[in-house]
Structure 1
């Protein structure tokens, strides 16, 4: 990867921003920090004024809170507000809390509507209203309309900046319009054709427009609306549409089929990353935790699920208590508990991870659910036979008690089979009950595998050894 550079304010060789691995250069951050400490606006602008918003966002995250405020103050009107959409929510909120609402209003005016919404939706209602009040009426109405749509919907993700033309225009008129209109989107790949009521009629890719003769009417070269989404469609469903049909953009319509916005692929990349990040965190029971959050916030997010886990752990303990007399007579069984619990939990987590991901991507559905349940049960049996044979042989040889090896082999077979089944059945059941399987599955799967593993292992020990 070619390292990125920024101009050197001292007139020497350009300063490297990122190294070959894509990480920020410590020397570059040190130069920015020195400029902030010296309140050297000229040097700060030379270093970061022309950075891509993603790089500027990375610089803001690398600085201390006081340094972030200082950098934004030094940059003044040259600060690229789009950078705030590239950083995690905790850092963004800390920055916004230190900036007057009037200044935020000025910054939001320069953003596309989807980026502006990304900033506004994280603010509390009072600050949001104050910022919107500082915007021109037309922009305020457009942003407020987007904010009224559900969170994580197409209406929140769309930009209201797009090119719409009537079907009776000629190619020449359309090209002339685009040359003369100063408010066009910075980048676009197709035009949207609408009737006088702004109903969505079709699209014209830019390459098709440029290849057509000037007298050709737009309606003669437009394609039908193959794909469109409703303002209230979930952003994850929109992302799947982009993935399935390799789209670059898609029109967003309201319930009357009026074109109200456009979603582009750069926004969908963010959606895919956010949804994957969200699923992974929920699967681990850490909620919406960010790296920039403090200790108390992290404790609050994690402790609730750990307390639930504590309750389910007592379920496993109660199973062990049922076989107290067996354990007293054969104390060596207690040494083998971690083997049974550990392998069962890992097997359940493997199946759970695959199942939750399949549900999230809609690959798992009622049509193939039973087939996959049968497959996982067979996988569990096979794993149980393999692991049980290896563990049973090892335990029998180490402790010179073949019957003990037989007991743990049987326990492993039962535990691996149950782990595979609960790893798919629990998330399927939660999904059927409209409960996010990524949030609650892991705790129940662990509880089920531990309880059944101990019950099978100690039950066989009671029957065969006692």
Structure 2
């Protein structure tokens, strides 16, 4: 059975989940009612059949003021597996209420990567207290992981793996797996190492099971493998797993020694996390988590709104230059928002494509010019289509053909600039070693609004439509 498949006893009772595999509101309410009435036994009986992921969901769905009481009532079921499935903010709340020895007991149950995820956000004093409560072997492994940069392969990897020498036979490997009780139980492949503990190949379990015992493991293994440097960023790790369709991969230190492995279940979490993070950064919404404290959400969002306020002043300044023209023809004021809105949407479309392409390594220095030409061509086609529709509509509604020509021309110019800015701004930020998802939207919006107003009002004046 694969890791993603649940046995019947692991699944939440069907009646407690809706069609989208989410806990039903009625079930959540019944558990919380039992907690509020002090009937902890009833709450535990309802929660006991749930899978750890569903217990984590239950805690997340509980109002913040009731979480301590719920956690106390079902404390026996809140173990490492539940915490590893839990939202970061909610998990931090629960961890803060636990004693160091309780955290140490939970961390000892988990793989190294999951234990590190729980301990890494603690304060220095709390970390030391938890580490002191751990067994020496567990403490050494976690301390080593914490020495690596955040969001690196070193933090992500787990030390629990199977490594065998290349001179062993298949029979030796099978006997080793059967006789050693302290080996990890969750693995898909075995790593083959040389005397210096450098990985020289990998061997799937299925190959071992189907090969005679007398065959050397070096004759069964696959020598080509994707090795992950311990300091590689987790986003790059995810890209390698995606590109090479990996299930697991060896992690090596600076000397090339095997120090851990990363499995696809961890990478799936990273892909989801990074995709959501980029989308939220594009909008300036911070972590964008509904469990994030209001103060933190405010601080994350307001700075980008303030930045947007100043960039909006640039567009307002351009409008002020043409105030006389606007006074002479009210239709200009009516149509201006259309030009800015269409340009902004066009820029956002191109920017989203560019940021995603940069994040997935599809957009590099080798194809930047080709990508710019492509997006400019698309922008011109889009601009011409919208310009035709808007120009004809404006001419008919206001009975002024010249006005229709002016706004159509302005629309082509603005959508063209939007397409150009949508690529150049993210690429420029990336070349400056800045995250293109963070500030691109502010600059692209400023360019499209300013250019839209300038092109429309400037063409109106230049064409003699207004004095």
TM-score, normalization by structure 1: 0.94
User: Given the alignment of the two structures, is residue 140 of structure 1 paired with residue 139 of structure 2, yes or no?
Assistant: yes
Q: Give the superposition deviation at 1:237.
A: 1.3
User: Given the alignment of the two structures, is residue 60 of structure 1 paired with residue 59 of structure 2, yes or no?
Assistant: yes
User: Given the alignment of the two structures, is residue 371 of structure 1 paired with residue 380 of structure 2, yes or no?
Assistant: no
Q: Give the superposition deviation at 1:384.
A: 1.7
Q: Do the aligned partners of residues 385 and 65 (structure 1) sit closer, same or farther apart at CA in structure 2, a change above 3 Å counting?
A: closer
User: Given the alignment of the two structures, is residue 85 of structure 1 paired with residue 88 of structure 2, yes or no?
Assistant: no
Q: Give the superposition deviation at 1:427.
A: 0.8
Which residue is equivalent to 1:355?
Answer: 354
CA RMSD, Structure 1 to Structure 2 (Å) = 2.2
Corresponding pairs, count: 461
User: Given the alignment of the two structures, is residue 335 of structure 1 paired with residue 326 of structure 2, yes or no?
Assistant: no
Describe the superposition over 1:332-383 as per-residue Cα deviations: whole angstroms up to 9, x where unpaired.
2111111111011001001101111111111111221111211211222222
Describe the superposition over 1:310-344 as per-residue Cα deviations: whole angstroms up to 9, x where unpaired.
00000001111111221222232111111111011
Q: Distance in 2 between matches of 1:5 and 1:18?
A: 14
Describe the superposition over 1:182-205 as per-residue Cα deviations: whole angstroms up to 9, x where unpaired.
222232111112234322222111
Mean Cα deviation higher: 25-34 or 54-63 = 25-34
Q: Give the superposition deviation at 1:74.
A: 3.4
Q: Is the 8 A contact 1:149 1:156 kept in 2?
A: yes
Q: Is the 8 A contact 2:168 2:216 kept in 1?
A: yes
Give the match's secondary structure for 1:350: helix
Which residue is equivalent to 2:420?
Answer: 421
Q: How does 1:159-170 map to 2 (within 5 A)?
A: 159-170=158-169
User: Given the alignment of the two structures, is residue 30 of structure 1 paired with residue 29 of structure 2, yes or no?
Assistant: yes
Q: Give the superposition deviation at 1:56.
A: 1.6
Q: How does 1:13-412 map to 2 (within 5 A)?
A: 16-412=15-411
Q: Distance in 2 between matches of 1:384 and 1:221?
A: 59
TM-score, normalization by structure 2: 0.94
Q: Distance in 2 between matches of 1:156 and 1:220?
A: 33
Q: Distance in 2 between matches of 1:14 and 1:197?
A: 50
Q: Give the superposition deviation at 1:447.
A: 0.3
Q: Distance in 2 between matches of 1:30 and 1:336?
A: 52
Mean Cα deviation higher: 416-425 or 215-224 = 215-224
Q: Distance in 2 between matches of 1:454 and 1:156?
A: 49
Q: Give the superposition deviation at 1:6.
A: 7.9
5+ residue gaps in structure 1? none
Q: Distance in 2 between matches of 1:147 and 1:403?
A: 67
Q: Distance in 1 between matches of 2:336 and 2:52?
A: 53
Q: Is the 8 A contact 1:251 1:261 kept in 2?
A: yes
Give the match's secondary structure for 2:202: strand
Q: Distance in 2 between matches of 1:225 and 1:147?
A: 30
Which residue is equivalent to 1:459?
Answer: 458
Q: Is the 8 A contact 1:5 1:16 kept in 2?
A: no
Q: Is the 8 A contact 1:4 1:18 kept in 2?
A: no
Q: Is the 8 A contact 2:202 2:225 kept in 1?
A: no
Q: Give the superposition deviation at 1:246.
A: 1.2
Give the match's secondary structure for 1:16: helix
Q: Give the superposition deviation at 1:207.
A: 0.7
Give the match's secondary structure for 2:222: coil
